[in-house]
Structure 1
Amino acid sequence: MDYNEFAKLELERWKYDMKKKPSIFDMASKGIQNKFNGILPNKYHEFMTTAIKNMVKAVLFGSTYLTKKPYLGLSLKEREELIIEKTKLYKNTAIIEGAGTGAGGIMLGLADFPLLLSIKIKLLYDIAAIYGFDVKDYKERIYILNIFQLAFSSQEHINKVFHRVEYWEAYVNGLPSDINSLDWREFQEQYRDYIDLAKLLQMVPGIGAFVGAYVNNKLVDKLSKTAIQAYRMRVL
């Protein structure tokens, strides 16, 4: 079996998982998450919401990450080998950053959140460029936001986002010409609700450093694997 055939098989398995309906466990986890969110002070929610809002704005409107040029003339295997190496670098950065801020308790734990978002954004821009897509096109940046949602939303929301991504060309044709017309509040809420539960443990003195490093490593790894499959749907 050549590499492309292997990738297609992996892609089909991933697509099947993305289309699964929410399980009882998924619904129970969401209920626990909502209870945690209800206990947290308003300032915490405001901090998280502001961090995500700024991240989304940076992706849509900023020029900080637009230096990546599309990689041309590579096979799928060569592209994905590059992505594996890039992901290792970003995971190491996230581990070091998560351990450092986790050891500092709640204040540094909060500081970790926007830092981790920045690491994820840079990784996704690199992956998009390696697959040959030009992120100067704002519609490619919309695709990046959809990858975030696929990686970090509830299963119920994943079902909705996956349908959008699976029929991306049809969806893109319906996007407004004015980027300012987009509604991105739902994305903010979904991402925040997913990440709170894991990151809360990072702020607990004594275990914060370990949890921060472990969680950051897992989140970056999950994002990379999701991005690979999402771009395979387009290049294959």
Structure 2
Amino acid sequence: MDGARVASLEKDILFLQQTHKSTLEKLHEEIESLKRANKELQYRLIMDSHPRPPRDSSAGGLHGKHSQTGFISSQEKLDTAKYDVEQYGGIITSLLPLKIHSGQSRPPRTPTLQECEAIIQQLYNTNTLQSRELLRLKAMLNDAVLNKKKISSEVSILTKAYTSGSTSSGELEHFPKLPLRPLPKIQQPSQASVRERVILPAIRPSLRSSMTERQKRAQDVHKTRLRRAVNS
């Protein structure tokens, strides 16, 4: 009975785990679909808030060519797509200031969906290249930290390039070179000058020394008197 009960409980646990897993997968799929729908709604709201200016037939033909190809070269995007920084200022955090300048006589227009996709693709490629470069630099720095004695030539070249690029040689302050001056020679004094300098005033006895001498003399006189008195 115990074995059958354990087997049934294990089956129940396995069934609950599978149900929980499938429920989580469905919830994640629903979240992703809601995110995509939210992005589409935000883009439509942005596009609807800025109506497109009327254009002539030539502009329509040009737009038709762009829509047929669905691709804008990198040089053309750099020339045509720019941010209206003077109007908004600061860091651009949305698609609102993005405008397409197709010509000097035509006013700037809001980019189409295909143009936005091309710009996003270009930014994505640039970001990918930058992330790869950052990973390569991090690996090189870790290698330099772990192996301080064995630094590759590429690391040393990059280090020199970064250090030299931070401060140019013209900006460094060069101090003037001062001429080396010899030390002055010590002149040995002559014998005459030594004699003149060695002459010192006579040493006068101090008051304490005179008092001690008087006390000694008095003691000597007292001793001699006692001896004479004893001998007599």
Please tell me the TM-score bracket, short chain as reference.
under 0.3
Please identify the structure whose Cα radius of gyration is greater. Answer: 2
More helix by share: 1
TM-score (normalizing by structure 1): 0.21
TM-score (normalizing by structure 2): 0.21
* Higher RCO structure (Cα 8 Å, ≥6 apart): 1
